[in-house]
């Protein structure tokens, strides 16, 4: 605790997390500076999602410390952690499919009136949701579900958003819209983002952390990372979308 | 569009088949038999619904199949019957139970201070163990020599000595206050010790803020007052309850039974089920075992006998009423509906079932709790990650489910023989209802319960009329379940997942 940096909103310090018998995280450290986007990079199965789940408390770490806003939060129940002001957007668009769009948003309220306060902002960011607000979640398209999942985290006042792969499985045009939305959010909130799409991540984020095989192996400013192709190649290799792949995606859209 | 047409076709087909069955049954049985069978079907359906609603909600939200639900139904009948016939037992035991509960509830006040203690890991393990052992010793001393069987006997005696409608039983003398007071005090001490142990003193990984201590004080403080009151009224209250109008007393029995079910459900969830969520098969075995424990406890207190609870005055006057107005005025036991003679108490059970269905629907669709339950059925982890204490929602839903079962029990008590095995048939039918209606769907539970009720009623009718074995009625429900499972494995209203 001696090296507390007051710019850090979140300081994940060398956590070890087990799922059942499996030692998934073997020493992950992540620092998230207040007021910016930090991106977590790494191959599939490296432990990025588990890191987010450890922060929010769904898979509590056995060792290590997590300090949020000057308070140790490891070992607390997820709802306590969330109520400190952390919004979690899980992967695979985990919205509540039996609930309507409006109910999904209402459920996210922590105080009465949260939704009234934030609805204008949310519907400006995602105009689609206003049009669809009576529909049940399972009638939404993949992109709309992802927007709802993000919007849900915006209902209460959060100091930090944990967003897990918001672009996964979206059409390129929607990815663009999602990235613009996250850009807008970053003006008011601190964001820890998991993103496979390196090009996009490098446009959005200021800081990065690379997770590989359950360990955080590299971190710093994203500008420096762009200058280190050998690091990118070594840890992200297959997961970076090359220009060719991107072109192919655009091609398939036509 | 093709899919939509197919659905319209399916729906029409189902409506035509159902209407066809109804019309042919009507033509076959004739109006009188048809109407009276329909009413007994609705009665059974309502009782099945009260059992199945809790089962399906509990299963949907927490994947817990509660095999003790039928026993809780039975327990509800016993508690209601006790309160209605002679509440001496309930008022006699209440001070002890309340005192213990008060002690345990002080955990919310103690915990923030206890976890801040600085203890070695060894002491952290040792202290709770010592507290539990002490609690056990203290509780043994609290109940030592307490004449619980004498108290339980009062209602049994009342059964044989009183007239229907207003059974003013003799009140057996109880311990004088000068001797009795130490029992609730010791019970509260036992509760406090358990609260001390389970708040794990010195465990810094726990989180309990001191800020809302005022709010945390509220519940234990109220309970403390209620406990003290209950100590002083334990002898006089039964008499005044028995002097009340029978209908009001019945209403109170329902409330007592429901309140008991709610608290009992919450306690069972916290103590027995919560530690086992990671091991679902253990929960099934545990609830199965619990059902036997409850049954044996009831037999210990009230002997393995069958009791008949008197019907409240509104349903007790012999003779048939021609109209609803006449019934409400005279309190007839039967009423003429479309030429058929229908017991009025059945109308009460049917109303109970329908009102509860309406209330559950309102709860699930209009309230925040309902929203949380529907979301939790799909993904409880995500609900928790949004800042909602899912564990306490689990406790609440379990408590509500058990309260519905005990409501069914007291509802059925004036209509069925009150005996230790009375819940078993409802447990089975409740499970079949849940399977037919779809796990986790309260609408499915209602529709399934009504289908089963009708199947039972018409099964009985045909068995009687065609001289078949009465087992055909019971078999019919299983046959319906098999048909549903073969054609729609997720149940009528279950979602595919």
Q: B388: which chain A residues are within 8 Å (Cβ-Cβ)?
A: 79, 107
- C-alpha–C-alpha distance, residues A183 and A150, integer Å: 13
Comparing CA positions, the residue from B382, B203, B392, B206 lying closest to residue A56 is B382
- C-alpha–C-alpha distance, residues B443 and B454, integer Å: 17
- Cβ distance B368 to A106 less than 8 Å, yes or no, reads yes
Cβ atoms B415, A136 nearer than 8 A: no
pLDDT at A201: 79
Q: What is the CB neighbour count within 10 angstroms for residue B371?
A: 22
> What is chain B's percent helix, strand, coil content, to nearest 5?
75, 5, 20
Question: Would you give the distance in Å from CA B185 to the centre of its chain?
Answer: 30
- What number of C-beta contacts closer than 8 Å exist between A and B? 65
Which residues pair with residue A191 across a beta bridge?
A37, A161
* pLDDT tens for the 497 residues of chain B, in order: 577 888 888 889 989 998 998 898 888 888 888 888 999 999 999 999 999 999 999 998 888 889 999 999 999 999 999 898 888 888 888 999 999 999 988 888 888 888 888 888 888 888 889 999 999 999 998 888 888 887 877 766 655 544 444 444 455 567 788 888 889 999 999 999 998 888 888 776 666 767 777 778 888 899 999 999 998 888 888 888 888 888 999 999 999 999 999 999 998 998 888 888 888 889 999 999 999 999 999 999 888 888 888 888 888 888 888 888 888 888 888 888 888 888 889 999 999 999 999 999 999 988 999 999 988 888 888 899 888 888 889 999 999 999 999 999 999 999 889 999 999 989 999 999 999 998 888 899 999 999 999 998 988 888 888 888 878 888 888 888 999 888 888 888 877 55
pLDDT at A182: 86
Helix-helix angle B280-302:B69-85, to 10 degrees: 30
Comparing CA positions, the residue from A151, A161, A250, A153 lying closest to residue A199 is A250
- C-alpha–C-alpha distance, residues A26 and A64, integer Å: 10
- C-alpha–C-alpha distance, residues B311 and B7, integer Å: 47
Instruction: For residue B270, give the DSSP letter.
Output: I
Q: A90: which chain B residues are within 8 Å (Cβ-Cβ)?
A: 382, 385
Instruction: For residue A212, give the DSSP letter.
Output: E
Residue of chain A whose alpha carbon sits nearest to that of B390: A79
Among B371, B383, B384, the residue with its CB nearest the CB of A106 is B371
Residue of chain A whose alpha carbon sits nearest to that of B497: A97
Which residues pair with residue A194 across a beta bridge?
A40, A164
Question: Would you give the distance in Å from CA A65 to the centre of its chain?
Answer: 20
Tokens of A185: 């959010």
pLDDT at B167: 47
Tokens of A149: 């999942």
Cβ atoms B105, B219 nearer than 8 A: yes
Q: What is the CB neighbour count within 10 angstroms for residue B484?
A: 21
pLDDT above 50 (res A239): no
- C-alpha–C-alpha distance, residues B465 and B473, integer Å: 13
B384 touching chain A per CB within 8 A: yes
Cβ atoms A12, A31 nearer than 8 A: yes
pLDDT at A76: 82
Tokens of B287: 């609830």
Domain made up of A8-85+158-253: CATH architecture? 3-Layer(aba) Sandwich (3.40)
Question: Would you give the distance in Å from CA B5 to the centre of its chain?
Answer: 43
B497 touching chain A per CB within 8 A: no
- Cβ distance A90 to B385 less than 8 Å, yes or no, reads yes
Strand order in the sheet with A215-221: A86-89, A160-164, A190-194, A37-41, A207-212, A215-221
- C-alpha–C-alpha distance, residues B35 and B52, integer Å: 25
**Counting every residue, how long is chain A?**
254
H/E element, B341: strand B340-343
- C-alpha–C-alpha distance, residues B328 and B314, integer Å: 7
Average pLDDT over residues A171-177: 81
Comparing CA positions, the residue from B464, B412, B434, B476 lying closest to residue B46 is B412
**Counting every residue, how long is chain B?**
497
Mean pLDDT of chain A: 80
B378 touching chain A per CB within 8 A: yes
Comparing CA positions, the residue from B333, B323, B341, B350 lying closest to residue B165 is B333
pLDDT at B329: 85
Comparing CA positions, the residue from A84, A52, A54, A89 lying closest to residue A71 is A84
Tokens of B115: 């976890």
Question: Would you give the distance in Å from CA B197 to the centre of its chain?
Answer: 30
Q: How far is CA A9 from CA A6, A35, B94, in A?
A: 7, 9, 52
Q: Where are the domains of chain A?
A: 8-85+158-253, 93-157
Cβ atoms B71, B446 nearer than 8 A: no
Instruction: Name the 3-class secondary structure at B454.
Output: helix
Residues 7-36 of A with CB under 8 A from B: none
- C-alpha–C-alpha distance, residues B429 and B478, integer Å: 9
pLDDT at B162: 47
- C-alpha–C-alpha distance, residues A30 and A40, integer Å: 9
Task: Check residues A153 and B261 and name the one with the higher pLDDT.
Answer: B261
A78 touching chain B per CB within 8 A: yes
B469 touching chain A per CB within 8 A: no
Q: What is the CB neighbour count within 10 angstroms for residue B70?
A: 28
A99 touching chain B per CB within 8 A: yes
- C-alpha–C-alpha distance, residues B183 and B170, integer Å: 24
- C-alpha–C-alpha distance, residues A68 and A11, integer Å: 6
Q: What is the CB neighbour count within 10 angstroms for residue B214?
A: 8
Q: What is the CB neighbour count within 10 angstroms for residue B120?
A: 9
- C-alpha–C-alpha distance, residues A248 and A243, integer Å: 9
Instruction: Name the 3-class secondary structure at B214.
Output: helix
B368 touching chain A per CB within 8 A: yes
Three-class SS of A34-77: CCCEEEEECCCCCCHHHHHHHHHCCCCCCEEEEEECCEECCCCC
Biggest alpha carbon–alpha carbon distance for chain A: 56
Among B207, B372, B378, the residue with its CB nearest the CB of A77 is B207
pLDDT at A123: 83
Query: Number of H helices and number of E strands within chain A?
Result: 11, 10
Angle at B263 between CA B262 and CA B266, to 5 degrees: 85
Specify the pairing of strand B317-321 against strand B340-343: unpaired
A105 touching chain B per CB within 8 A: no
- C-alpha–C-alpha distance, residues B351 and B331, integer Å: 16
């Amino acid at each position: 605790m001696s090296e507390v940096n007051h710019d850090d909103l979140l300081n994940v310090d060398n956590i070890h997390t087990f799922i059942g018998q499996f030692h998934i995280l073997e020493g992950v450290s992540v620092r998230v500076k207040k007021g910016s986007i930090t991106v977590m990079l790494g191959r599939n199965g490296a432990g990025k999602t588990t890191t987010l789940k450890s922060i929010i408390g769904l898979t509590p770490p056995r060792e290590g410390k997590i300090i949020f806003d000057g308070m140790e939060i490891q070992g607390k129940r997820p709802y306590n952690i969330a109520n400190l002001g952390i919004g979690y957007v899980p992967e695979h668009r985990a919205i509540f499919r039996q609930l309507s769009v409006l109910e999904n948003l209402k459920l996210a309220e922590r105080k009465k009136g949260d939704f009234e306060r934030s609805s204008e902002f949310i519907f400006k960011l995602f105009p689609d949701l206003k049009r669809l607000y009576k529909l049940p979640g399972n009638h939404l398209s993949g992109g709309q579900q992802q927007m709802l999942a993000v919007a849900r985290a915006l209902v209460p006042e959060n100091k930090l958003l944990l967003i897990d792969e918001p672009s996964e499985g979206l059409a390129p045009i929607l990815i663009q819209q999602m990235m613009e939305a996250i850009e807008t959010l970053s003006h008011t909130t601190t964001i820890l983002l998991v993103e496979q799409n390196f090009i996009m991540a490098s446009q959005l984020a200021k800081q990065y952390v690379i997770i590989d095989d359950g360990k955080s192996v590299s971190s710093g400013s994203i500008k420096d990372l762009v200058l280190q192709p050998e690091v990118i190649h070594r840890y992200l290799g297959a997961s970076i979308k090359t220009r060719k792949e991107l072109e192919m995606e655009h091609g398939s859209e036509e | 569009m093709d899919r939509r047409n197919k659905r319209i076709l399916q729906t029409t087909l189902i409506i035509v088949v159902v209407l066809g069955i109804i019309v042919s049954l009507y033509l076959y049985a004739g109006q009188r038999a048809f109407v009276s069978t329909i009413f007994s079907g609705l009665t059974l359906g309502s009782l099945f619904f009260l059992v199945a609603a809790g089962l399906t909600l509990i299963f949907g939200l927490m994947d817990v199949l509660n095999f003790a639900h039928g026993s809780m139904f039975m327990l509800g009948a016993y508690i209601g019957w006790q309160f209605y016939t002679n509440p001496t037992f309930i008022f006699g035991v209440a001070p002890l139970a309340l005192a213990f509960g008060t002690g345990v509830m002080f955990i919310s006040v103690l915990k923030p201070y206890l976890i801040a203690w600085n203890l070695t890991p060894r002491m952290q393990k040792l202290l709770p163990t010592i507290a539990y052992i002490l609690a056990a010793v203290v509780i043994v001393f609290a109940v030592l020599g307490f004449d619980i069987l004498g108290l339980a006997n009062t209602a049994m005696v009342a059964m044989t000595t009183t007239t229907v409608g207003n059974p003013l039983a003799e009140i057996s003398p109880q311990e004088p206050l000068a001797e009795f007071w130490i029992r609730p005090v010791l019970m509260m001490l036992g509760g406090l010790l358990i609260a001390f142990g389970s708040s794990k003193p010195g465990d810094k990984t726990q989180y309990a803020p001191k800020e809302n201590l005022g709010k945390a004080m509220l519940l234990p403080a109220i309970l403390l007052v209620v406990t003290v009151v209950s100590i002083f009224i334990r002898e006089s209250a039964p008499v005044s309850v028995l002097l009340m109008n029978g209908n009001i007393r019945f209403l109170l029995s329902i409330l007592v039974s429901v309140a008991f079910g709610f608290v009992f459900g919450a306690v069972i969830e916290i103590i027995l089920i919560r530690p086992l969520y990671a091991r679902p098969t253990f929960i099934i075995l545990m609830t199965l075992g619990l059902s036997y424990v409850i049954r044996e406890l009831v037999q210990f207190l009230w002997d393995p006998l069958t009791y008949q609870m008197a019907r409240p005055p509104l349903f007790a006057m012999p003779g048939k009423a021609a109209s609803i107005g006449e019934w409400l005025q005279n309190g007839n036991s039967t009423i003429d509906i479309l030429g058929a003679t229908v017991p009025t108490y059945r109308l009460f059970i049917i109303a109970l079932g329908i009102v509860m269905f309406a209330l559950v629907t309102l709860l699930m669709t209009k309230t925040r709790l309902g929203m949380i339950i529907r979301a939790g059925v799909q993904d409880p982890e995500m609900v928790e990650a949004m800042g909602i204490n899912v564990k306490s929602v689990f406790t609440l839903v379990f408590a509500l489910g058990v309260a519905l079962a005990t409501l069914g029990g007291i509802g059925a008590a004036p209509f069925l023989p009150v005996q230790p095995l009375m819940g078993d048939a409802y447990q089975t039918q409740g499970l079949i209802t849940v399977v037919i209606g779809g796990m986790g769907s309260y609408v499915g539970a209602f529709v399934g319960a009504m289908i089963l009720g009708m199947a039972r009623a018409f099964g009985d009718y045909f068995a009687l009329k065609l001289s078949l074995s009465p087992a055909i009625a019971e078999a019919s429900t299983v046959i319906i379940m098999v048909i549903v499972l073969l054609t729609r494995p997720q149940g009528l209203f279950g979602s595919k997942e």
